[in-house]
Amino acid sequence: MPLIVDLHSHTTCSDGRVAPRDLVRLAKAQGVHILAVTDHDSVEAIPDCLEEGKAQGVRVIPGIEMSSRFEGNDVHVLGYGLDHRSPSLLKRLGELQESRRVRVGRICEKLQGLGVALEPAEVLQEAGGKSVGRKHVARALLKKDLVRSLDEAFNKYLGQGSPANVPANEMTPGDAARLILEHGGMPSLAHPGFLEDPTLAERILDESPIRAIEVFHRYRSATRHLRYLDVARRRNLRVTGGSDFHGDEHPNNGSLGSFTCPAPFWKEFEYGLRGR
């Protein structure tokens, strides 16, 4: 049986629809052997996922997906194998959670200026007190019938360059990568194939201590896998891949294990993790 490795997934501790333990149970049911849990700016799900992973026979990799900005673009950095119990990490993540709540207020102000009546409390309720983000705003808009789909919410209001978009924070990819490295993790550039400028990834990597790149993801074209595999080879970066599973109604979200890190690349990446 081939080794199935999904290195990108989300739970209800950020903007996923599936609770931590249920995510691991789903991984087991889907035949995923190794699962990285990578919530946005949060490691809250990790203890439950690790415990359930032992019960289910699924190896869980503690992870995170950090938000950052570079040249006016939203850029995410994945972190793997970091010390999720570190007090200094938890303190910094607490600060980022507060900035996310402030961001929701600013997004709602912009929406109200566009004639769209949405209160911050409605978004925070959608998030359930967890790490709040734009997807929670989109779900709240959908629930109130203010949009017809999550795609419409992002295209019309929330996506990069849209009128109600507000950056998550002012961290750079380098800042995010250094935070991950400082806490024993391996930083990987998340889904570079979604960056509008194909040369942007190279400039990010020039200025950041990022050690890996997410080659395998649900990109619009398989040629992007080849493009970023070439980047990885030229720069001697480790290769990661995953489904970016959220478990909701967004049509571009894959099922758990639908995109994976092929076993040979996982072995190289695992060696790098052990060497940290």
pLDDT over threshold 70, residue 253: no
Q: Is residue 149 part of a domain?
A: no
pLDDT over threshold 90, residue 252: no
Distance CA 141, CA 157 (A): 10
Distance CA 61, CA 80 (A): 7
Please tell me which residue, 198 or 35, carries the higher pLDDT value: 35
pLDDT over threshold 80, residue 274: no
Supply the pLDDT for residue 115: 95
Please tell me which residue, 61 or 222, carries the higher pLDDT value: 61
Q: pLDDT, tens digit, for every residue of 171-192?
A: 999 999 999 999 999 999 999 9
Query: Torsion angle, CA of 176/6/139/89, rounded to 10 degrees?
Result: -30
Q: Read off the pLDDT of each residue in 137-158 and give the average, rounded to a whole number.
A: 93
pLDDT band, residue 210 (cuts 50/70/90): very high
Phi, psi of 225 (to 5 degrees): -60, -45
Distance CA 230, CA 126 (A): 40
Q: Is residue 21 part of a domain?
A: yes
Supply the pLDDT for residue 275: 59
As a whole-number percent, the residues of the chain with pLDDT over 90 amount to: 80
Q: Is residue 124 part of a domain?
A: no
Q: Is residue 18 part of a domain?
A: yes
Q: pLDDT, tens digit, for every residue of 30-71?
A: 999 999 999 999 999 999 999 999 999 999 999 999 999 999
Residue labelled with tokens 């109604």: 249
Q: Read off the pLDDT of each residue in 254-260 and give the average, rounded to a whole number.
A: 88
Nearest CA among 245, 265, 219 for reference residue 27: 245
Q: Is residue 102 part of a domain?
A: no
Supply the pLDDT for residue 232: 97
Q: Is residue 131 part of a domain?
A: no
CATH of residue 201's domain is 3.20.20.140
pLDDT over threshold 80, residue 221: no
Q: Give pTM, 2 decimals.
A: 0.90
Q: Is residue 201 part of a domain?
A: yes
Q: 17: domain range?
A: 5-92+169-274
Q: Specify the DSSP element, H or E, that contains 6.
A: strand 5-6
Number of domains in the chain: 1
Q: Is residue 116 part of a domain?
A: no
Nearest CA among 169, 141, 172 for reference residue 155: 141
Distance CA 150, CA 155 (A): 9
Return the SS3 of 132: coil
